[in-house]
């Protein structure tokens, strides 16, 4: 069991690397399909905390950063970090319309002084922490007394029909060596009780979790297939199994078309929105 847990941690650590052309495809295809609605929701919750200084971890290509920049008062300082400099480059190039400090940083080793932020936020990033307790402890350390940590994480694959369809199609495409990236990491941290327990063990005193349903929209099955197969670390797992990823893209697009039709896709999304307070 210990060996399996160690191997899973190693795989999750690898899953967190968004390299090459993945960040650009992620921003172009995946962000509009999955993330914009939840970013708007999280930014509104952050604004209700009336912070003076906000740290974002695992900022990715900046979808939450942009939502916060639009929602928060101009004098609020925003520091946006990510493990992958390539993601931050995409975010900075797209811009947010105001001053933001972009900084490459590992959420498990935050390079900031203790008690230096009113709010720490994370948009669908905690699932990629190979050590959740360490990440949460670092976030608690940099929060001020009465500070707040807000984040969201996907519910299970069974509750997210587009991602479930993609995962099933990929497993079918490589039956002798199936990849379970989506099940393992993006949708692998979905148990509300586990999330609350981890946060309390890290030292957070009050934890509330809302489960929020939204709708996903995409122009076509192929757009969704490209988003997942080329715009996430799933790309590396496909590359380890096939010289050309077109087979996987076609298989996923065909499965999506069978379930949703050949035109514009509409599917359900479900995620947990977590608010953890220091006090």
Query: Could you read off the pLDDT of 97-109 as tens digits, one per residue?
Result: 999 999 999 999 9
Average pLDDT over residues 209-232: 97
pLDDT recorded at residue 116: 98
Model confidence at 9, in pLDDT bands (50, 70, 90)?
Answer: low
pLDDT recorded at residue 12: 57
Q: Write the pLDDT tens digit of every residue in 30-72.
A: 999 999 999 999 999 999 999 999 999 999 999 999 999 999 9
pLDDT recorded at residue 243: 85
User: Poorest-confidence range of 43-47, 99-103, 153-157, 171-175?
Assistant: 171-175
pLDDT recorded at residue 18: 87
CB 61 within 8 A of CB 269: no
Average pLDDT over residues 172-179: 92
User: Poorest-confidence range of 3-17, 21-35, 121-135, 146-160?
Assistant: 3-17
The structure's pTM equals 0.93
User: Poorest-confidence range of 5-19, 172-186, 234-248?
Assistant: 5-19
CB 256 within 8 A of CB 165: yes
Model confidence at 13, in pLDDT bands (50, 70, 90)?
Answer: low
pLDDT recorded at residue 6: 45
User: Poorest-confidence range of 13-27, 71-85, 202-216, 246-260?
Assistant: 13-27
pLDDT recorded at residue 220: 97
Average pLDDT over residues 194-198: 98
pLDDT recorded at residue 16: 77
Residue 142 has pLDDT above 80, yes or no: yes
Domains and CATH numbers, the chain: 2-277 (3.40.50.150)
* Cα(61)–Cα(35) distance, integer angstroms: 11
Model confidence at 123, in pLDDT bands (50, 70, 90)?
Answer: very high
* Cα(93)–Cα(79) distance, integer angstroms: 16
């Amino acid at each position: 069991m210990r060996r399996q847990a160690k191997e899973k941690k190693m795989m999750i650590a690898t899953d967190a690397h968004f390299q090459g052309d993945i960040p650009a495809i992620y921003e172009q295809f995946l962000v509009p399909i999955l993330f914009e609605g939840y970013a708007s929701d999280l930014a509104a919750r952050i604004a209700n905390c009336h912070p003076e200084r906000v740290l974002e971890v695992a900022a990715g290509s900046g979808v939450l950063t942009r939502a916060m920049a639009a929602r928060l008062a101009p004098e609020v300082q925003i520091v946006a970090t990510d493990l992958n400099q390539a993601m931050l480059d995409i975010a900075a190039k797209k811009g947010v319309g105001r001053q933001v400090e972009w900084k490459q940083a590992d959420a498990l080793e935050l390079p900031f002084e203790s008690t230096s932020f009113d709010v720490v936020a994370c948009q669908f990033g905690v699932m990629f922490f190979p050590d959740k307790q360490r990440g949460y402890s670092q976030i608690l350390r940099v929060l001020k007394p009465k500070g707040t940590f807000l984040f969201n994480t996907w519910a299970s694959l069974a509750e997210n029909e587009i991602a479930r369809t993609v995962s099933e199609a990929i497993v079918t495409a490589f039956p002798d060596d199936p990849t379970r990236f989506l099940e393992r990491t993006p949708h692998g941290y979905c148990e509300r009780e586990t999330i609350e327990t981890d946060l309390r063990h890290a030292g957070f005193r009050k934890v509330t979790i809302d489960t929020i349903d939204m709708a996903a929209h995409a122009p076509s099955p192929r757009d969704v297939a490209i988003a997942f197969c080329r715009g996430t670390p799933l790309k590396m797992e496909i590359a380890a199994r096939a010289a050309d990823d077109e087979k996987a893209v076609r298989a996923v697009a065909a499965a999506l078309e069978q379930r949703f039709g050949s035109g514009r896709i509409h599917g359900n999304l479900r995620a947990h929105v977590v608010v953890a307070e220091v006090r």
